[in-house]
Amino acid sequence: MHKQQIIIYPEYSADSLGSAWAAWEFFGDGAYYISYRYNDPMPPFEKGAEVFVLGCGIPLGMIYEAAMQAERIVVIESQSHYEAKYLEQLNAQLLAHNVTFIIDSSRSACVMSWDFFKHTKTPLLLEMIQDHNQGRFSIETSRDVVAALNNRLPMDLMEFGGISVGELRAGSRYFCESLFWASQPKQAAKT
């Protein structure tokens, strides 16, 4: 790998793809994007790279081991159990000097990533993903939009960046109508 910014994000979730897209909006082709499956080893990278771990839940031991090779590592995480493990490490003073943690279980990784990389108004789609993931459902149709988005996974970052909320709303209505008609009892043909 020859790029010095490494973006690591989980496979197959709207939140993780939104996190990676936030980094893409900042770095574009200037970074290397690696999807991560839980319990896999830490993806390899060149010595001196900046590594951004976005909502992966990578064990802290793997993060600290990677820190020996990285210029810096930024971990953005929304899982409350990860926060508890981090606080244990903090109390034991076992943190690497070049690792920054941004942990907030009241927000989604995609919104935290957007705030970290872009510092501009959060796009509606990312707000809807957060609304859905946090179980708030305070944004009208967030449940349907995220369901429609999840039905399209996997997808690449360019496709994610080109999706509109309106397109997802329309796709959700079509999907729900298909399920409704598929669940209706078949009427016997008249002879």
Q: What is the pLDDT of residue 1?
A: 44
Is 147:175 a contact under the CB 8 Å cutoff? yes
What are the strands, taking DSSP E only, across 78-143? 99-103
Annotation: CATH topology of 5-183: inorganic pyrophosphatase (n-terminal core) (3.90.1640)
Q: What percent of the chain has pLDDT over 70?
A: 84
Over residues 18-61, the pLDDT tens digits come to 999 999 999 999 999 999 988 899 999 999 999 999 988 888 88
Q: Is 164 exposed, middle or buried (0-12, 13-18, 19+ CB in 10 A)?
A: exposed
Backbone angles phi, psi at 47, to 5 degrees: -60, 135
pLDDT tops 70 at residue 186: no
* Choice between 146 and 183, residue whose per-residue pLDDT is larger: 146
To the nearest whole number, what is the mean pLDDT of the chain? 84
pLDDT tops 50 at residue 153: yes
| Domain positions in the chain | 5-183
Q: What is the pLDDT of residue 190?
A: 53
Q: What is the pLDDT of residue 178?
A: 42
pLDDT tops 70 at residue 147: yes
In which element (H, E) is residue 77 found? strand 72-77
Q: What is the pLDDT of residue 96?
A: 76
Over residues 64-103, the pLDDT tens digits come to 899 999 999 999 998 877 777 777 766 665 667 898 989 8
* Choice between 93 and 168, residue whose per-residue pLDDT is larger: 168
* Choice between 129 and 82, residue whose per-residue pLDDT is larger: 129
Report the candidate in 37, 33, 31 with the shortest Cα–Cα distance to residue 20.
33
pTM given for the model: 0.83
